[in-house]
Structure 1
């Protein structure tokens, strides 16, 4: 049982709204209707009903009682739980550091950009050895030639220091949102179709981009391929033989041969050949432009390309599934996935300044002379004489953020570590270093006090805290005793034997495949000789896993009352996650019969701990009396919200 899942599912606790109606009290504490509803809505995404709400209220009250008891026992002060909470806080902190409005703007921008792909060409001129003037002059020369009408490919072949430009003329193919670093993506998406962007300076050099045209976004592809590679120095005879083999394999595929089988035998791409030719799902701008051009030109799932050539060799591609780009900004797919992609991308750097500004609202500078601080700094950092009567000491306050004072000693430590320029050309001016120091200190303050700036972060930390307390007390009070007390379990089993009966069942091996095409291939092989399943499954690596046990018939994928020993059940696909399952019936049992203790142990543990928990909960309700306001409950039940 995963405590973090418990924390997320069992709790969605937020601060009580002062003016809210109280839904229930327990042991001197109160919970508002708003607070309960927030938790209910977070943990109940299915159709909501009064019955579901009342059921959840019972669970919610039980969880609050258990957490209260854990706090009464002092579990919240246990060193391991305190340390664990700090670790959890540190783990989720990065996802909350950004200003919420800034993130929303970035998500909206990313969605808008995701709707089209842009055909991009690129010239790169490096600023190696810090010779920025020469590099800029070269970039200017290339840019002026483009403005004068020279073709981009000609200028790229002459000036670009990207090695691929010699053969592709700077043509990068199509890109879409998240394909390029954010700074380059901005340049490309802000450049009108057919236009050349102004020279852009990055940390590594100068860049010239051209928007060659755009199209409606094509989406993401799942595909399989056969790659027939040859060495870069291959002679004409080798290349001709490779082409002949590619044509032969293509003809076999047209006659119905399996691309997975052929890829396993012939493909030079070791990763995809080990996966029956399947390559990871990809989007625009992730692979060789020529490869993407052909793959995306396939008009339907199952279509197979003619052999085509790239710098890697000869390819044959089969389109498996095309996932279109979502076009509804309010769809669950966009709202669930896009914010996470944005937060994981380099564009989040743009939100740092917003966080610093929020912290700086609490900035108060102490009274000190700037020149005196610079002189004091010189004395420590540059071994210069100390200015007399400066009045500054290591613990002298320089400014304050909230209740946190920043001292001269903090400044000296920062300056010592950060005063040199990154390019090695000397030290930074004190004014520049001071601005960086204040910004860094403000960011540290923002992180340290994020609960004060971000209610959602505060609520998340409280969820984890209460979830950990819930897990700890359940582990001690219910789960460990229920699982480890074998004597009590056997006694419970003997008292309730009539509960533990095998219905119609079978000894079976259940197979789970990672995706449907793999499952279909495996099923075909298994059906030929099910008794050889161990040998067959070994050929599929981690793509197919097996679970051998005795199961009731309704627990076996694809099984029916007519399923007999020695047969394979029908293949059951799951279109939600593209997985599939089937089973090999080893021995069929048609009549109900008692389970022995070993076979029933898992069920016994579940029932025994449920009884233990029920008894314990009754004790907690006596210790912390629960009073529900029926009028408030009736109001929220009738609203259905």
Structure 2
């Protein structure tokens, strides 16, 4: 039996190696006789190296374990037929189409649009507009009526004043006269943006059409964009449960502001007292932001109003609470070189993409040497009847189905292909228009769609980078469906096993030791010694506060409640025992603690820890499942290839 297994192993490896040599690749390992190549492993390892947080996973052997588990799961997903699910095929097809677009854009046209976009985001435009709504596919009569109406409004606005006309004609249904405020590139549809940026300040544009209807725009101001602002802040939550004003929050922010006015360090106070936990440990520092990016306009206006580095605002209120803001830095709009990649993405998602599409169609026609014989269109116009507009039209019995139409690459298209396209075009709303116009429009759309589809179908074989990205997404979709059905959903519904898991691992679900305490913080050690004496005498906290912080001079800020050892306000060396502590140096200030009660480590009930238990159970279930997959699908490592991989990666 062992001899048979050895013979089978050697045969498989030889077959795989021969296959690999034919493809100029080494096999790293086999999963149920399916070869996995060195090139794929190295590519994925290098790609994910910077994303790996666990240093052990940067070890080749450890990463190989993850990679083999990944391939085992893929094998199981295909064994379950998940790649044949209609939902999987639909999502993959959608992504494939989106991905292909980024590989098929015309570079010259895109670059020109990106440069134009950069010029526009460098400025803010303030404007108002009047819109006469008309459907994008409206008939000529309605289109002309809307155009005449917007022209009339423009003539009135030139003589009577734009604002007067705007307010009078607005009805909120068919005509809109709106104040738009300041906006920059990408904030409006492209045609509107173009009209606004091309209209001088103080003037009214000529009528122009977007998908919403006909507009005129009155440009009121044009200013340089404000760029990027970086600030630190101290936040005191106004009320965590109710949308009402909380006087205590305002008092606390004013106390903190008073300490800043007294010369205390902003960053130290943020570490001690800011309720924004994500920034408190960094001295309140926030990520840079630009105009219009934040959901709190009050915060943005105050931040941009600060002029010099280290300027500090007075306390102010936003929807999130009370803030004090310190200016760290201001930067103008990034250079074109730095922001170009971001702008390229935006351009391809914007209305500008239509211009890119047209350039793509023309380049594909040239690439595949497509020869269009428009004389064929006369034939199709001759067979169209009024039934087409009633959506009952059919191809005639003597239709020339097998007549060649055009050829793209290796694929020949026939009259029957365009005929079927015309038939399917009846499903939607069909606007009445001359037969020759209808056929020409449909033909151009059919040709363009066919060009793009052919390119998409062959792109995986023409472009290696595209093939790799598509393969990763294809596998990712399969793994998601597999994990959802096998692990995630099962773990949520398997209540009996989850409770058993909790009982077997109860020691993992405990609340740590905590204290019910009063913390006093001050920049002066001497002041805290006074506080300690007053606390020892049993004086109430409010009286101590009024005594120490008298005469509008904030010397001490008190924090009360139940806290864990990792609380930002607690010194790490503070022992958890009842009584008044010594004074500690902490967060560039001094801290004193009065511990009223020490709350011991407490076992959490199943309900209290249910979320963590389910997460841990999923991890446990997945690990057990992977071990079963290793038994189901044999994994054979090519040790010689692995040695070469380690040597290659080490030399990089």
TM norm structure 2:
0.53
Q: Is the 8 A contact 1:451 1:458 kept in 2?
A: no
Q: CA deviation at 1:180?
A: 2.6
| 1:202 alignment partner, SS class | strand
- Cα distance in 1, alignment partners of residues 63 and 98 from structure 2: 32
More deviation, 346-355/87-96: 87-96
Q: CA deviation at 1:393?
A: 5.1
Q: CA deviation at 1:410?
A: 2.4
Q: What is residue 442 of structure 1 aligned with on the other side? A: 448
Q: What is residue 117 of structure 2 aligned with on the other side? A: 110
Mapping of 1:481-492 within 5 angstroms?
484=494
- Cα distance in 1, alignment partners of residues 144 and 604 from structure 2: 81
Q: CA deviation at 1:397?
A: 6.3
RMSD of the TM alignment (CA)? 6.3
Query: Is residue 2:641 matched to residue 1:629?
Result: yes
Q: CA deviation at 1:122?
A: 5.9
Q: Is the 8 A contact 1:502 1:594 kept in 2?
A: yes
Q: What is residue 36 of structure 1 aligned with on the other side? A: 42
| 1:629 alignment partner, SS class | helix
Q: CA deviation at 1:63?
A: 1.2
Q: CA deviation at 1:302?
A: 3.5
- Cα distance in 2, alignment partners of residues 631 and 326 from structure 1: 50
Q: Is the 8 A contact 1:116 1:215 kept in 2?
A: yes
Q: What is residue 205 of structure 1 aligned with on the other side? A: 214
**Structure-2 change in CA distance of 1:416 and 1:211 (3 Å):** same
Q: What is residue 188 of structure 2 aligned with on the other side? A: 180
- Cα distance in 2, alignment partners of residues 555 and 330 from structure 1: 44
Q: Is the 8 A contact 2:127 2:181 kept in 1?
A: yes
Mapping of 1:136-175 within 5 angstroms?
138=152, 155-157=161-163, 173-175=181-183
**Structure-2 change in CA distance of 1:108 and 1:172 (3 Å):** same
**Structure-2 change in CA distance of 1:20 and 1:391 (3 Å):** same
Q: CA deviation at 1:84?
A: 2.6
Mapping of 1:52-63 within 5 angstroms?
52=58, 54=60, 55-63=62-70
| 2:37 alignment partner, SS class | strand
- Cα distance in 2, alignment partners of residues 181 and 354 from structure 1: 20
Q: Is the 8 A contact 2:129 2:178 kept in 1?
A: yes
Q: What is residue 466 of structure 1 aligned with on the other side? A: 475
Q: Is the 8 A contact 2:45 2:63 kept in 1?
A: no
| 2:28 alignment partner, SS class | strand
Q: CA deviation at 1:391?
A: 4.7
Q: What is residue 234 of structure 1 aligned with on the other side? A: none
- Cα distance in 1, alignment partners of residues 362 and 58 from structure 2: 44
- Cα distance in 2, alignment partners of residues 67 and 489 from structure 1: 30
- Cα distance in 1, alignment partners of residues 324 and 21 from structure 2: 54
Q: CA deviation at 1:636?
A: 3.5
Q: Deviations over 1:163-199 (max 9, x none)?
A: 69xxxx99865331223321122234456x7685863
**Structure-2 change in CA distance of 1:18 and 1:562 (3 Å):** farther
> Gaps (5+ residues) in structure 1?
1-15, 225-248, 260-280, 307-316, 421-425, 510-527, 530-549, 568-583
Q: Is the 8 A contact 1:125 1:139 kept in 2?
A: no
TM norm structure 1:
0.54
Q: Is the 8 A contact 1:122 1:170 kept in 2?
A: yes
- Provide the aligned length of Structure 1 versus Structure 2: 482
Q: Is the 8 A contact 1:123 1:208 kept in 2?
A: yes
Mapping of 1:90-489 within 5 angstroms?
90=94, 93-94=97-98, 97=101, 99-100=104-105, 101=107, 106-107=113-114, 109-120=116-127, 130-131=144-145, 134=148, 138=152, 155-157=161-163, 173-190=181-198, 199-203=206-210, 204-205=213-214, 207=216, 210=219, 212-219=221-228, 256=254, 283=291, 297=305, 299=307, 302-303=313-314, 327-328=334-335, 341-357=346-362, 360=365, 369-378=376-385, 380-381=387-388, 391-392=398-399, 398-399=405-406, 402=411, 406-414=417-425, 417=428, 420=431, 426-431=432-437, 433-440=439-446, 442-443=448-449, 446=452, 450-453=456-459, 459-471=468-480, 484=494
Q: CA deviation at 1:474?
A: 5.4
Q: Is the 8 A contact 1:118 1:176 kept in 2?
A: yes
Q: CA deviation at 1:110?
A: 3.4
Q: What is residue 277 of structure 1 aligned with on the other side? A: none
Q: CA deviation at 1:460?
A: 4.7
- Cα distance in 1, alignment partners of residues 348 and 596 from structure 2: 47
- Cα distance in 2, alignment partners of residues 61 and 436 from structure 1: 50
- Cα distance in 2, alignment partners of residues 615 and 78 from structure 1: 26
Q: What is residue 230 of structure 1 aligned with on the other side? A: none
Q: Deviations over 1:590-614 (max 9, x none)?
A: 69x9999997956973674475256
Q: Is the 8 A contact 1:110 1:177 kept in 2?
A: yes
Q: Deviations over 1:568-599 (max 9, x none)?
A: xxxxxxxxxxxxxxxx99973269x9999997
Greater Rg by CA: 2
| 2:224 alignment partner, SS class | strand
**Structure-2 change in CA distance of 1:209 and 1:379 (3 Å):** closer
Q: Deviations over 1:508-559 (max 9, x none)?
A: 99xxxxxxxxxxxxxxxxxx99xxxxxxxxxxxxxxxxxxxx99x6777767
- Cα distance in 1, alignment partners of residues 292 and 54 from structure 2: 40
Q: Deviations over 1:78-137 (max 9, x none)?
A: 53xx42342353367457546444666655543443233245576778898724675586
**Structure-2 change in CA distance of 1:186 and 1:92 (3 Å):** farther
> Gaps (5+ residues) in structure 2?
1-19, 135-141, 171-176, 236-246, 258-288, 517-540, 543-561, 581-594
